[in-house]
Amino acid sequence: MKEQQLFHYKIHKISGHPPMLAVADYGLLGRKIVSNGLTIEVNKELYQGEVGDKNQVASLMLLHDMIILVGKHSVDLAKELGLVTEDSILRVGDIPHVQIYKFKY
């Protein structure tokens, strides 16, 4: 039986802006990744809120207009949903990171 992929996520309310969704692969929370002069901190203040599965997080990604993602599974899910292209991914070591802003005209 395949292990269910889990994610940390938190929805941030920002005055005057739409809510922002922050998603990190489960197991990355608290890590600091440094590579080639770039650093990503998967800090608890930004990402720790709820734990959800792939279906829950996919629904949230489609719902939110501002999204921050860190981790292979999180970024791959956004790619599956058509929210991210390969050339928009920043990699720090082997950890992908993406910021998504959906513009509505």
Looking at the structure of the chain, the number of domains it has is 1
- Examine residue 68 and state whether it is found in any structural domain, yes or no: yes
| Residue 75: exposure state from Cβ atoms within 10 A (0-12, 13-18, ≥19) | buried
Cα(93)–Cα(95) distance, integer angstroms:
6
Q: Which domain holds residue 65?
A: 6-101
pLDDT in tens, 13-58: 989 888 999 999 999 999 999 998 989 999 999 999 999 999 999 9
pLDDT in tens, 65-99: 999 999 999 999 999 999 999 999 999 999 999 99
3-state class (DSSP) for residue 12: strand
Question: What would the DSSP string read from start to end of 64-99?
Answer: -SEEEEESHHHHHHHHHTTS--GGG-EEETTEEEEE
- Examine residue 95 and state whether it is found in any structural domain, yes or no: yes
Asked if pLDDT for residue 3 goes beyond 70, the answer is no
CATH number for the domain spanning 21: value is 3.30.1860.10
Asked if pLDDT for residue 105 goes beyond 80, the answer is no
- Examine residue 25 and state whether it is found in any structural domain, yes or no: yes
| Token pair recorded at residue 75 | 């970024």
- Examine residue 75 and state whether it is found in any structural domain, yes or no: yes
- Examine residue 1 and state whether it is found in any structural domain, yes or no: no
Asked if pLDDT for residue 104 goes beyond 80, the answer is no
pLDDT reported for residue 1: 39
- Examine residue 55 and state whether it is found in any structural domain, yes or no: yes
